[in-house]
Amino acid sequence: MLSVKHIEAGYGESIILRDISLEVKPGQVVCLMGRNGVGKTTLTKTIMGTIKAKSGSIIYDEQNITKLAPYERAKLGIGYVPQGREIFAQLSVQENLLLGLEASRDRKNGVPASAIDKFPVLPSMYQRKGGDLSGGQQQQLAFARALASKPKLLLLDEPTEGIQPSIVYDIQEVIRSIKQQGDTAILLVEQSIEFVKSVADYYYILEKGAIVAEGSIDTFDDSVVRQHLVV
């Protein structure tokens, strides 16, 4: 579903990512881990197109999207839940969800029930402004907004950061249900080792802008954590 090959990217003249290659197969949950500041968010932004790759290629669903604009990538079926959620604070919950349809070919039928049903608290908040929601509620809204276009690839940048345990559990269950359905691949940036072990099939670890470890989740043991993730 996604093949990143030898990507270099950064900000201005500063190179953050160096020779990054990774793959996400259809229906697979792949986790991207690493200490703070190693380039995880830069990589997700590069895949989404909000940062331009300086070299290398990004292949999505057998199509080279390296030079496509973010909105073109979204229309091809890539959903994105950015770090910090980026909810439109002055728009209502319902309006935020409707914006998720901008990338969909099936706008006439509205936000699909499959996106809303995963977060049943949202319909009761439709008329509330996005900025009035708690952090956890905003995270659920951002997730549902990304699911509104029925993406084939979902990029999740630290979806459990700074939210209460009950909503972390809800997000964990949503990821598991998406994985079980088998029609959406997920690239997940996450810091919680326990969370990763509960949902992921495969992992990559970034260090100083390069991938230093990878493997199936059953090889993600204490020795890997001590070597690459303990501060």
**Domain limits of the chain?**
2-86+155-228
Q: Output the pLDDT for position 30.
A: 96
pTM beyond 0.85: the answer is yes
Average confidence (pLDDT) over 195-205: 92
- Which numeric CATH code is attached to 2-86+155-228? 3.40.50.300
Length of the chain: 231
From the list 185, 157, 174, 152, the residue with the least C-alpha distance to 86 is 157
What mean pLDDT is reported for the chain? 89
Per the structure block, which two tokens stand in for 99? 């914006």
**Other C-beta atoms within 10 Å of 67: how many?**
11
Would you put residue 154 in left (φ > 0), alpha (ψ -120 to 50) or beta?
A: beta
Give the percent of the chain with pLDDT over 70: 97
Average pLDDT over residues 160-170: 88
User: Cα–Cα distance between 115 and 141 in angstroms, integer?
Assistant: 10
- The residues pairing with 17 across neighbouring beta strands, listed in sequence order, are 9
Residues 6+ apart with CB under 8 A from 214: 22, 202, 203, 204, 205
Q: What is the pLDDT of residues 212-228, one digit of tens each?
A: 999 999 888 877 877 77
State the Cα torsion 18-146-128-160 to the nearest 10°: -50
pLDDT at residue 115, rounded to an integer: 82
Contact partners, residue 170, CB within 8 Å, separation at least 6 = 119, 140
Specify which residues 29 forms β-bridges with.
Answer: 186
Q: pLDDT tens digit string along 81-100?
A: 988 778 888 999 998 988 88
